[in-house]
């Protein structure tokens, strides 16, 4: 579960990481009062579960309380990469001398956590990592040892961080381990003009498998005001769903297969709209729930179902799709690729149903390519201007 920035900052505060004073509101009128309490000037930041808020217009600096209300009013209700802004955080401005980047993330390949740090943090960190990878340090962390003062010193020295950041590195590791997090990121971590080390922004992803150990923490982020609407709807149905900002909806069985499918879709020149893992249960209710959530995303232009039959056979998956179509109106093309146990029988079931919007493909590459083509075609149709002839063909407006 991804925490919103204000939630992540509250967590950092609990572990002694310094952050500027801040308050959250969902009403523009209250932004004026908050800014007044913060001293007049305030940074107004959209609270959404996605990055790139600054470039999308989700962050603004207000010179006084009146302007804070105007900025909050402009940001609230806007759409940022498919996420509607329902609340904003107003934070006390900081005089920045230098910006850094630090994070701990689970490296599933090595079975260890990875410390990532750079002396060049801020909005351009992704560009720095892509164009000058030598400026970003990646250092494995042994979970048994953790991040001690000595380990923090090695990370700071390698990345060019000031010695004062070592204490923050240790505290961020405590957040990661104590809260069962998969990611703890601060960007930027800044050195102020007064020499203080302050976390201006925080991102924390908690492990849903550890939910039972932190019921209050997870409950804090479960409601619709703390989650994207579609992710909240999927969670209520017990689905493993993450909303992305693309146009091809993706359903698969198994996290590895779904991740591979996302990569293949991207390789075909399209953007995945979601990550949806149905696991081993491809029953009609599960398929209906999955299709319902994905089709509720207005950005989706085609849907790709990629299933490898194992314990759950492909004919059971196909039967689940057919039954799901009885309760869910399919409004966009659906491409299905079945392989593995009882794949031939599964394909026959779908062919017998003969839904006009359902297509089949025999390979993952072929299915992804077809789904990408259908999404592009839908985009062209949607963008095409309505001609006078088309208006005439549909008759006069009433």
The residues annotated with a catalytic role in the active site are 101, 185
Q: Is 64 exposed, middle or buried (0-12, 13-18, 19+ CB in 10 A)?
A: middle
**How does DSSP classify residue 4?**
P
176 in Cβ contact with 15 (< 8 Å): no
Handedness of CA 377, 382, 385, 387 (dihedral sign): positive
**Among 272, 358, 356, 285, which Cα is nearest to 316's?**
285
Cα distance between residue 212 and residue 99, in whole Å: 36
Note if the bond before 211 is cis, omega within 30 degrees: no
Say what angle helices 343-353 and 314-324 make with each other, to 10 degrees: 20
- CB-based contact 343:351 (threshold 8 Å): no
Nearest to 19 by CA among 4, 37, 6, 28: 6
Burial zone of 29 (CB within 10 Å; 0-12 exposed, 13-18 middle, 19+ buried) = exposed
Handedness of CA 171, 176, 180, 181 (dihedral sign): positive
| DSSP state, residue 3 | P
Q: Where are the beta strands (DSSP E) in 299-341?
A: 302-309, 334-340
């Amino acid at each position: 579960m991804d925490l919103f920035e204000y939630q992540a900052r509250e967590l950092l505060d609990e572990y002694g990481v310094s952050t500027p004073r801040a308050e959250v509101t969902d009403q523009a009128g209250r932004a004026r009062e908050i800014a007044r309490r913060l001293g007049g000037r305030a940074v107004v930041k959209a609270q959404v579960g996605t990055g790139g808020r600054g470039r999308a217009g989700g962050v603004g600096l207000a010179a006084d309380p009146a302007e804070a209300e105007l900025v909050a009013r402009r940001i609230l209700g806007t759409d940022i990469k498919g996420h509607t802004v329902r609340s904003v955080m107003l934070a006390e401005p900081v005089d920045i001398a230098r910006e850094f980047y630090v994070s701990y993330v689970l490296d599933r390949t090595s079975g260890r956590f990875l410390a990532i740090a750079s002396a060049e943090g801020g909005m351009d960190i992704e560009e720095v990592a892509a164009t000058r990878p030598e400026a970003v340090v990646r250092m494995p962390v042994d979970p048994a040892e953790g991040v001690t003062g000595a380990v923090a010193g090695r990370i700071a020295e390698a990345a060019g961080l000031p010695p004062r950041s070592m204490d923050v590195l240790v505290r961020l590791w405590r957040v990661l381990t104590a809260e069962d997090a998969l990611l703890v990121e601060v960007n930027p971590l800044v050195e102020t003009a007064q020499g203080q080390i302050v976390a201006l922004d925080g991102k924390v992803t908690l492990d849903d498998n550890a939910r039972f150990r932190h019921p209050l923490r997870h409950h804090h982020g479960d409601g619709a005001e703390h989650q994207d609407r579609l992710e909240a709807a999927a969670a209520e149905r017990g689905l493993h769903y993450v909303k992305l900002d693309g146009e091809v909806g993706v359903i698969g069985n198994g996290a590895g297969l779904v991740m591979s499918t996302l990569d293949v879709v991207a390789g075909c020149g399209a953007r995945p709209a979601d990550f949806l893992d149905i696991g081993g249960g491809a029953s009609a209710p599960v398929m209906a729930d999955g299709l319902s959530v994905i089709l509720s995303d207005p950005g989706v232009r085609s849907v790709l179902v990629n299933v490898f039959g194992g314990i759950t056979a492909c004919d059971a998956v196909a039967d689940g799709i057919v039954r799901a179509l009885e309760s869910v109106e399919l409004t966009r093309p659906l491409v299905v690729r079945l392989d593995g146990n009882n794949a031939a029988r599964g394909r026959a079931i779908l062919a017998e149903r003969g839904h006009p919007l359902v297509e089949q493909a025999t390979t993952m590459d072929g299915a992804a390519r077809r789904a990408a083509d259908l999404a592009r075609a839908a985009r062209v149709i949607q963008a095409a201007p309505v001609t006078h002839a088309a208006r005439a063909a549909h008759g006069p407006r009433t």
